[in-house]
């Protein structure tokens, strides 16, 4: 047999084996039941790691990936990174329950710059996250645009930010020829959140990142003296009081909507909890519907003046959308059931007012997920805790964390590896604003 035939056969068998391993649940695994394809946490965490990342959502895995990328250039010996995820089915993780939108239309330069980078990252995703001998990543990026409708009063505000957006977040750019034109269709639209999460995870794992299933509990960190948190994270096994201590130098809190809770734990010295990390789960519904006469392929991700939003879901007359409630009508976040009356009474009438053909839509389904909501100013918190320099946070992106995850992960990894933000100046997203009580207002919040 010629050698290339057996090599090809070997590769094919290898791929088949991987597919089987991806599809068949890990027998006797601690968490039991079905796991998403490709998720195989190590049965036990290692005894020690340089960095423990709490939370295996898109932000946590992005941080882990970038740590390995940056470590390669600057250290002779690899950095041991461990991602801890308490629910490998991701049943409540924001990432997989999101609407998948990406836009350049923000009002803060930091958010615009993160979106800029993310759009190019998604376009070149196989350059960044491709793994040799694995199928290429199809992120299903639909560059159909993102359209904010504005009332006459709000139009001036939107117009003011267009110049900033067209300059990529840098204010010193000459006025654009079309003042109301956003940066262009090609960097806005939507993509598949699951694919991005899995691509980060697969690549990071291939670079040597460890992962395990378990819960990190803040109160167990202990040892808070001298401006550093404990050198030992206790990782609780699922549904068990059993825990495994993991000695580590740095902890990254990427626990999404639960990032604030992680630092609220009883038993932590009180001054360490001040200011509190103002990140909470806020329940948001996504409804899906069918409407054969609805807007066609050229329809962008649309945000109406009423606050409702929708986008196409495929090409067969299906759509998805929703609306954030006013602050005083926030639904109970303790569970993720869907209030179908909310669609009938609040969302549908507004949608039909904007798109008359939606009067005859047929609801197909719905789900609820959590915004990782920063109650202080709706922006991510990125950086080291003011009194614990080895505890860093990357959370609280409040409805835009999926699209900003490539840039946020890189920024956090730069802080860890190089001690400062290098690619983008994101210092204003740090803790200082929480301490000083100075919110960083973002007008483009959906």
Ligand X SMILES: Cc1cc2nc3c(=O)[nH]c(=O)nc-3n(C[C@H](O)[C@H](O)[C@H](O)COP(=O)(O)OP(=O)(O)OC[C@H]3O[C@@H](n4cnc5c(N)ncnc54)[C@H](O)[C@@H]3O)c2cc1C
Residues of this chain that bind ligand X (CB under 6 A):
54-60, 84-87, 90, 93-95, 97-101, 215-216, 254-258, 262, 284, 286, 369-372, 395, 397, 399-403
- If the CB atoms of residues 162 and 395 are measured against ligand X, the closer one turns out to be 395
Joined tokens for residue 111: 């958010």
For the chain, the farthest-separated pair of C-alpha atoms sits apart, in whole angstroms, at 75
- If the CB atoms of residues 94 and 390 are measured against ligand X, the closer one turns out to be 94
- If the CB atoms of residues 18 and 224 are measured against ligand X, the closer one turns out to be 224
| Residue 102 and residue 187 in contact, taking contact as beta carbons nearer than 8 Å | yes
Enumerate the β-bridge partners of residue 51: 81, 250
**Nearest-angstrom CA–CA distance, 339 and 342:** 6
**Nearest-angstrom CA–CA distance, 110 and 382:** 11
Joined tokens for residue 245: 């201590």
| Residue 404 and residue 380 in contact, taking contact as beta carbons nearer than 8 Å | yes
> Residue 70 Cβ, how far from ligand X at the closest point, in Å?
19
Cβ contacts of 26 within 8 Å, gap of 6 or more: 35, 40
- If the CB atoms of residues 361 and 446 are measured against ligand X, the closer one turns out to be 446
Joined tokens for residue 218: 């803040």
- If the CB atoms of residues 53 and 291 are measured against ligand X, the closer one turns out to be 53
- If the CB atoms of residues 117 and 371 are measured against ligand X, the closer one turns out to be 371
> Residue 91 Cβ, how far from ligand X at the closest point, in Å?
8
> Residue 412 Cβ, how far from ligand X at the closest point, in Å?
11
> Residue 407 Cβ, how far from ligand X at the closest point, in Å?
11
* Dihedral, CA of residue 90, residue 45, residue 281 and residue 110, to nearest 10: -100
**Nearest-angstrom CA–CA distance, 257 and 90:** 13
What's CA 125's distance to the chain center, in Å?
A: 16
Residue 16: exposure state from Cβ atoms within 10 A (0-12, 13-18, ≥19): exposed
> Residue 311 Cβ, how far from ligand X at the closest point, in Å?
9
> Residue 142 Cβ, how far from ligand X at the closest point, in Å?
12
- If the CB atoms of residues 135 and 267 are measured against ligand X, the closer one turns out to be 267
| Residue 343 and residue 310 in contact, taking contact as beta carbons nearer than 8 Å | no
- If the CB atoms of residues 106 and 421 are measured against ligand X, the closer one turns out to be 106
- If the CB atoms of residues 121 and 397 are measured against ligand X, the closer one turns out to be 397
- If the CB atoms of residues 153 and 329 are measured against ligand X, the closer one turns out to be 329
Nearest alpha-carbon partner for 235 in 12, 385, 85, 356: 85
Residue 119: exposure state from Cβ atoms within 10 A (0-12, 13-18, ≥19): buried
> Residue 178 Cβ, how far from ligand X at the closest point, in Å?
26
**Nearest-angstrom CA–CA distance, 147 and 182:** 9
> Residue 98 Cβ, how far from ligand X at the closest point, in Å?
3
> Residue 219 Cβ, how far from ligand X at the closest point, in Å?
11
Cβ contacts of 308 within 8 Å, gap of 6 or more: 321, 322, 323, 347, 350, 351, 354
Nearest alpha-carbon partner for 414 in 54, 81, 80, 70: 70
> Residue 85 Cβ, how far from ligand X at the closest point, in Å?
5
> Residue 365 Cβ, how far from ligand X at the closest point, in Å?
13
Q: 3-class SS at 206?
A: helix
Residue nearest ligand X (C-beta atom): 57
- If the CB atoms of residues 22 and 87 are measured against ligand X, the closer one turns out to be 87
| Residue 418 and residue 356 in contact, taking contact as beta carbons nearer than 8 Å | no
């Amino acid at each position: 047999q010629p050698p290339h035939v057996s090599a090809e056969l070997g590769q094919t068998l290898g791929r088949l084996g991987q597919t089987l391993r991806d599809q068949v649940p890990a027998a006797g695994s601690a968490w039991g039941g079905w796991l998403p394809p490709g998720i195989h946490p190590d049965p036990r965490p290692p005894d020690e790691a340089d960095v423990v990342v709490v939370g295996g959502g898109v932000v946590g895995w992005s941080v882990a990936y970038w740590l390995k990328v940056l470590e390669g250039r600057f250290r002779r010996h690899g950095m041991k990174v461990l991602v801890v995820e308490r629910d490998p089915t991701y049943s409540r993780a924001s990432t997989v329950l999101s609407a998948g939108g990406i836009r350049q239309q923000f009002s803060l330069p930091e958010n615009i710059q993160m979106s800029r980078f993310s759009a190019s990252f998604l376009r070149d995703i196989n350059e960044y996250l491709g793994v040799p001998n694995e199928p290429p990543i199809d992120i299903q990026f639909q560059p159909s645009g993102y359209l904010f409708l504005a009332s006459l009063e709000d139009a001036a505000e939107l117009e003011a930010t267009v110049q900033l957006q067209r300059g990529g977040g840098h204010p010193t750019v000459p006025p654009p020829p079309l003042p109301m034109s956003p940066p262009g269709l090609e960097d806005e639209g939507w993509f598949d959140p699951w694919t991005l999460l899995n691509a980060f995870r697969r690549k990071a794992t291939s670079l040597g990142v460890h992962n395990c299933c378990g819960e990190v509990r803040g109160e167990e960190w202990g040892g808070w003296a001298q401006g550093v948190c404990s050198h030992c994270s206790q990782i609780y096994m699922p549904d068990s009081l059993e825990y495994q201590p993991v000695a580590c130098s740095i902890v990254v809190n990427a626990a999404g909507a639960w990032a604030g809770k992680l630092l609220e734990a009883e038993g932590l010295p009180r001054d360490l909890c001040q200011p509190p990390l103002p990140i909470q789960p806020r329940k948001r519904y996504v409804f899906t519907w069918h409407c054969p006469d609805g807007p066609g392929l050229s329809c962008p991700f649309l945000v109406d003046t009423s606050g409702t939003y929708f986008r196409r879901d495929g090409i067969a007359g299906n759509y998805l959308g929703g609306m954030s409630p006013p602050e005083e009508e926030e639904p109970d976040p303790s569970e993720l059931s869907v209030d179908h009356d909310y669609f009938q009474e609040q969302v549908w009438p507004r949608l039909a007012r904007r798109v008359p053909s939606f009067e005859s839509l047929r609801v197909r389904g719905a789900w609820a997920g959590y915004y990782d909501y920063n109650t202080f100013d709706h922006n991510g918190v990125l950086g080291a805790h003011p009194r614990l320099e080895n505890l860093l946070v990357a959370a609280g992106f409040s409805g835009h964390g999926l699209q900003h995850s490539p840039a946020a992960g890189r920024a956090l990894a730069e802080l860890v590896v190089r001690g400062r933000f290098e690619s983008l100046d994101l210092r204003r997203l740090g803790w200082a604003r929480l301490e000083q009580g100075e919110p960083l207002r973002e007008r483009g919040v959906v």
